[in-house]
Amino acid sequence: MFDRSSKIRTTGDPLTDILRGLRLDGVDYARCEMREPWGIQFPAQAAARFHFIGRKGCWLMQPSGEWVELKAGDAALLPRGAAHVLASEPGTKAWPIQGYAAEEVCKNVYCMSNEAMCPDGRCPGTLLFFGSMYFNIDGLHPLLGMMPDVMRAHELEAYEPGIPHLLDSMAREVTMERVGSGGILARLADVLAATVIRSWVERGCGDSSGWIAAVRDPDIGRVLAAIHLEPDRDWTVEALARMMGASRSGFAERFATIVGETPARYVTQVRMHQARQWLVRDRQKISVVATRLGYESDAAFSRAFKRVIGSAPSHLRAEEHAG
C-alpha cells in the first residue's frame, strides 16, 4: 500500500510535475481527399481535434469566426474540440462531417472523399488527415482552459526542432498508399500533437499570468503540484501550510491572493475534476469514487460533485446510457 507519510517525489519544477502525466490518446482518424469546391463542418466535441494538410492547402474557420489559411504541410490542433470549418475557400458551403461516407482501412482509421464531384479524377484534391484525441485530464483543468482555440505547428516549429521532422514524415506517409500508412499516420499525429502542446507550455503557455503564474511561484507552485499529483489525498490547510513552511493563516491568505481561490475550494475542485475522469473515462462506480476520495457517504460526495461540476454524478451516468 502506498505510504501516505512518504514524501511526494517531484522534479523541482512544479509545472513539470503537474504535466508529467499529461497524455493524448487518439481515438479515430480519417484520411480524406477533397475535390474543389468543398467544405466540412466539425461540430463541437469533448475530444481535441487534429488536422494535417498533406497536399494543396485550405482554409480554417476558427471558433471565433475568423478564417486562417493552412498551407500544405501545416498542422493544427484544437485542444478543446471547438466547432470549426475546413474549406477550399472562405465562405464555401460546408457540410457536416457526419454526412460523408467513410470506409475503415485499419483499426480506427477511415478513408473519405468527395470524388463524386470530380468523377474523372483529373482534378487533384486537397489531401487531409484529421483525428480526435482525448486528454487524460479533465476538460475543466486550468491548463486546458488556458490553451488557445487553435494551435498551429508552424507557429511553434522555430522553438521545437522536432516539429519539422514530424511534419515531413506525415507528408510522406499521407501521400502514399503503402501498407500500414494509416496506422503510422495515427501514431505520428499523436506524437506531433503532444509535441505542439509541450512546446507551447515550455514557451510560457502564451501567458505569464493567472494559473501559470501561480504554479511558477516558488512556494505556492510546490503546493499546487502536490495537490494535482495526489488529488485523492486528504489535504488539510494545515498540511499544505507545513509544505510551504508557513503558518496556517499566512499560507491561506497568500494562496487566496495568488491563486484566486481558498485552499479548501481549490482542493475540492481538483478532486471533483479527477472524480469526473474516474466516472466517465474509467467507468468507476460512484461508491468507489466516493470511497477513494475519503467521503463517508455517496450522498456527501454527490453534493460536493454537483457543487463544483454543476450536475450530480448520477446525471453523468444517465447521459452515458442515453448516448
Domains and CATH numbers, the chain: 22-202 (2.60.120.10), 217-322 (1.10.10.60)
- All 3 cell numbers of residue 172? 510522406
Amino acid found at 270: V
Predicted local confidence at residue 204, as pLDDT: 64
Q: DSSP of 237-293, one letter per residue? A: HHHHHHHHTS-HHHHHHHHHHHHSS-HHHHHHHHHHHHHHHHHHTS---HHHHHHHT
Cα separation of 44 and 323, whole Å? 16
Q: In what order do the strands lie in the sheet with 75-78?
A: 102-106, 109-113, 24-34, 126-135, 48-55, 75-78, 151-152
- For residue range 193-226, list pLDDT tens digits in order: 888 888 887 776 665 567 888 888 888 999 999 9
Q: Band the pLDDT of 9: cuts 50, 70, 90.
A: low
Task: Report the range out of 42-56, 132-146, 151-165, 167-181 with the highest average pLDDT.
Answer: 42-56
- For residue range 228-268, list pLDDT tens digits in order: 989 999 999 999 999 999 999 999 999 999 998 999 999 99
Predicted local confidence at residue 269, as pLDDT: 93
Task: Report the range out of 103-112, 117-126, 141-150, 279-288 with the highest average pLDDT.
Answer: 279-288
Cα separation of 47 and 134, whole Å? 5
Amino acid found at 162: G
Cα separation of 259 and 266, whole Å? 9
Cα separation of 190 and 47, whole Å? 13
